[in-house]
Structure 1
Amino acid sequence: MTNVRVAGVGMIPFCKPGHHEPYRVMAAKAIRLALTDAGLDAKSIGQAYGAYIYGDSTCAQHAFYDVCQSGIPVINVNNNCSSGSTALFLARQAVLSGQVECALAFGFEEMQPGALGSHWQDRESPFERLNPVLQQFNAPQGPIALRAFGAAGRHYMDKYHVGAEIFAKVAEKSRRHAINNPYSMFSSPLIYQQVLDDKVIYDNYLTRLMACPPTCGAAATIVCSEQFARQHGIASQVKILAQSMATDTEISWQDPIYAVGKAMTQQAAQQVYHDAGISPNDIDVIELHDCFTPNEVITYEALGLCPEGGAAQFIADGDNTYGGRYVIGPSGGLMSKGHPIGATGLAQCTELTWHLRGQAGNRQVEGARLALQHNVGLGGAVVVTLYGI
């Protein structure tokens, strides 16, 4: 078996901390939406993988039990911001292996206001490997995610002699896409000058509107074998054509751009293109990990969408939006839709599935047949997934 069918998807609208329901309730709603979308009963699921990073162990069971207590394996997944896609990676593997015919990946998060930080101050941090490269490039102090991605953006500007306006233009594009997404947290338009003039939160250039907000929410995906799809009358024709996960190598620590996932992204993307027998030019629509707009710019190049140092021209030509070479982040991305960490990768899957089915409403990418997903977590892991019909 080489292809796995995306049988059903579901997500709830994301919201700010303090405006959310308990994670158990949010996750159960997303799972039920995916089951309804697939036309399946919960007892059809052979294994479940629940992704989150803020919560006690076995939160995934607690959420799944609201939907069904069928005794199946439920695995808790924590891979930082790539947790949702890691859950999907594991669910797909379970089906590919023949261990089960149908598997569920779901993700959820109850986040707190403010910048991300460690909840474990009494032990070694996995982010300590980032410190030498950040110190070498004189990155100012700050919360780890802000510091890492902020330093990457600064290094990009210095290396390719561009200004922060390219990051602001990406934020403007993302919000323009989000206006047509009823699941997005933000729906008011932005112009790039607003982004540049907003409150600076890091290194005299990175503003609040270049950073995604802390978010609460949930999403779910059901995958199955082709045989199971035929037997159960699954209408969805969307398949996972290729998928790859990569982690850091020694090259990850050569500069701040590599430290936030460039090498991992290149490795995973090239593997996906090879396995599917395609090039980046064949892709129609992309959801990528724009936790900070500098990371979206860096990822254009890591995915091979434009040449090294070519992002400014790529953006100026409109090749990241409707009418250009690719539609990138039609949902509004993490920047505007929100980033409830455990749910993010599965929300990306849901968005791309809707586009391939022609169900994305006013933001529909017409004629979409190949969709690419990129989800990265510091520490680190990246998952790149190719969907097709």
Structure 2
Amino acid sequence: MLNISQLRRAVVRCASAQRKAYVVGVGMTKFEKPGRRIDFDYHDMGREAGEAALADAGLPFEKVEAASIGYVYGDSTCGQRAVYQLGLTGIPIYNVNNNCSTGSTALMQAADMVRGGQADCTMAMGFEKMQPGSLGSVFDDRSNPLEKHAEAMINIGGFAPAPMAAQFFGNAGKEHMEKFGTKQSHFTKIAAKNKRHSVNNPYSQFRIEMTEEQVDGDKQVFEMLTRQHCCPTSDGGGAAIIASEYFVKKHGLEHKAVEIVGQAMVTDMPDSLDEEKTDLMTIAGYKCSKTAAEKVYAQAGINAKDIKVVELHDCFSANELITYEALQLCEEGKAGEFIDAGDNTYGGRVVVNPSGGLISKGHPLGATGLAQCAELCWQLRGEADKRQVENCDLAVQHNIGLGSAVVITAYKLGFPEVRKDWVAQNGLPTHALPKEGEYLAPKKK
């Protein structure tokens, strides 16, 4: 027989087939060069990020009803191994692998459980323990998931002795240059901009500002891409706590609740791998990003011109450039003008990658989407310190994994007036990087 609390929740869940989902706590580790921290195994990354998110929400782990855990490199049930560091409560734990968009896929699954009424409080967690150097195939005794994409790319753009990921995105950038007259300097300005932004991010793997000459003067990887145009492999973790409106109000979390106002995942389109219809930008995910953005903007009832800050998947500077147009931050073919005008940074129309992006912050595959979520929640709550974007009231996250899946999420403050009053009384918290092992979970209630 249902008790009163369970009955009330059942009634609330039945009242709406599509409930709202709010991020009420976020946390991440510092992203590190693989192997720098000897004691930094994947479950340590998960614990640090998870405890930080719980502390941010002011909740004990026992309040979490389900968890979606993302990672790419690891044995089955790594999610359980990481979550068990927080507690053994018998909750469902789902392990997610969706290439570089794994973290956002976990986030979307955790939010879907709340939106669909399966739970009132969920956790999304992602982590990655990586090897130095370019990404490579782990399972060489079976078909590579990207072989169809590679065949289509090679038939159009040829093959070079360079990392495949760099070729996918570098070829997309090259095609943009041929179509629209984009210049090398545009890609270089993106890389230098992200390195400049990362100086103010204590969680970033690299915090070194570089001139455009230094960016272009490094070792060439492929076409317009030098090493400084490419994201590094990284170790790290991220986490977010997602809650229903009922849960938010019951626990008095309105002052920090960030609403997910739109969210969509798009995989390859009908013509993505049709060699007679596709092109190099499509193979690299441009149309997936464009379609996902249109879906999210329609869900949220927003226009791209309203967006103040974006965390965008800049695995390579070439991908950031073509994605400006996919997200409608500028018109098709106008990315070069958008960059030259400084409209992608502070003082311009929209700040893209205030965190430093993947190029400087790092890219532990399973954690990236959740680190993007953390940055945007801090921005909307006014807690980004020197990275803070002025008048930030709408934020968008873009995360892509080839093979393929693009996840785009739009965020706003859930209860802006409550937040305003709370800050007036309490001031803004800071997010200075804690010392290793310093994260503390709240006491059990």
TM-score bin (small chain): over 0.9
Q: Which of 177, 182, 193 is 2:213 aligned to? A: 193
Report the equivalent of 1:316: 340
Determine if contact 2:265/2:292 at 8 Å carries over to the other structure.
yes
Count of aligned pairs between the two proteins: 388
Quote how far apart the aligned CAs of 1:128 are: 1.0
Distance 1:283 1:163 in 2: 26
Q: Which of 12, 15, 18 is 2:35 aligned to? A: 18
Determine if contact 2:19/2:116 at 8 Å carries over to the other structure.
no
Report the equivalent of 1:145: 165
Q: Which moved more, 1:264-273 or 1:248-257?
A: 248-257
Distance 1:10 1:162 in 2: 38
Q: Which of 32, 39, 58 is 1:39 aligned to? A: 58
Quote how far apart the aligned CAs of 1:168 are: 0.6
Determine if contact 1:14/1:185 at 8 Å carries over to the other structure.
yes
Q: Give per-residue Cα distances to partners, 1:176-229, cap 9 Å, x unaligned.
A: 1111111111112111111111110113x3100000001000000000001101
Amino acid at match of 1:292: F
Quick one: percent identity of the two aligned structures? 49
Report the TM-score when normalising by structure 1: 0.98
Q: Which of 48, 62, 72 is 2:91 aligned to? A: 72
Secondary structure at 2:271 match in 1: helix
Q: Which of 260, 264, 269 is 1:249 aligned to? A: 269
The gaps in structure 1 that reach 5 residues or longer are none
The gaps in structure 2 that reach 5 residues or longer are 1-17, 414-445
Determine if contact 1:108/1:341 at 8 Å carries over to the other structure.
yes
Q: Give per-residue Cα distances to partners, 1:354-377, cap 9 Å, x unaligned.
A: 000000000101110100000000
Listed as ranges, the matches of 1:327-346 within 5 Å are: 327-346=351-370
Listed as ranges, the matches of 1:206-285 within 5 Å are: 206-234=225-253, 235-253=255-273, 254-285=278-309
Quote how far apart the aligned CAs of 1:3 are: 2.2
Q: Which moved more, 1:351-360 or 1:18-27?
A: 18-27
Determine if contact 1:141/1:147 at 8 Å carries over to the other structure.
no
Q: Which of 115, 119, 142 is 2:138 aligned to? A: 119
Quote how far apart the aligned CAs of 1:2 are: 4.1
Q: Give per-residue Cα distances to partners, 1:18-39, cap 9 Å, x unaligned.
A: 1130111111011001001001
Quote how far apart the aligned CAs of 1:121 are: 0.6
Report the equivalent of 1:361: 385
Determine if contact 2:29/2:236 at 8 Å carries over to the other structure.
yes
Determine if contact 2:25/2:240 at 8 Å carries over to the other structure.
yes
Q: Which moved more, 1:129-138 or 1:280-289?
A: 129-138
Secondary structure at 1:240 match in 2: strand
Determine if contact 2:105/2:407 at 8 Å carries over to the other structure.
yes
Distance 1:320 1:374 in 2: 15
Q: Please state if 1:54 is matched with 2:73.
A: yes
Largest Rg, 1 or 2: 2
Amino acid at match of 2:201: N
Q: Give per-residue Cα distances to partners, 1:281-336, cap 9 Å, x unaligned.
A: 01110001000000000100011111111011000000000111100000000011
Q: Which moved more, 1:246-255 or 1:377-386?
A: 246-255
Secondary structure at 1:250 match in 2: coil
Q: Which of 190, 193, 199 is 1:173 aligned to? A: 193
Distance 2:56 2:141 in 1: 44
Determine if contact 1:115/1:146 at 8 Å carries over to the other structure.
no
Determine if contact 1:137/1:255 at 8 Å carries over to the other structure.
no
Determine if contact 1:244/1:384 at 8 Å carries over to the other structure.
yes
Secondary structure at 1:166 match in 2: helix
Distance 1:328 1:139 in 2: 31
Distance 1:277 1:346 in 2: 24
Determine if contact 1:6/1:239 at 8 Å carries over to the other structure.
yes
Distance 1:141 1:308 in 2: 31
Distance 2:184 2:233 in 1: 23
Distance 1:151 1:188 in 2: 27
Cα RMSD (Å): 1.0
Secondary structure at 2:246 match in 1: helix
Distance 1:168 1:2 in 2: 43
Q: Which of 101, 113, 125 is 1:106 aligned to? A: 125
Compared CA separation, residues 161 and 250, structure 1 to 2 (3 A): same
Q: Give per-residue Cα distances to partners, 1:112-133, cap 9 Å, x unaligned.
A: 0110011011101111111232
Amino acid at match of 1:309: G
Distance 1:173 1:206 in 2: 15
Secondary structure at 2:318 match in 1: helix
Q: Give per-residue Cα distances to partners, 1:231-282, cap 9 Å, x unaligned.
A: 1121313110110010001232311111111111111100011111111001
Distance 2:55 2:107 in 1: 19
Amino acid at match of 1:29: E
Distance 1:238 1:171 in 2: 29
Quote how far apart the aligned CAs of 1:134 are: 1.6
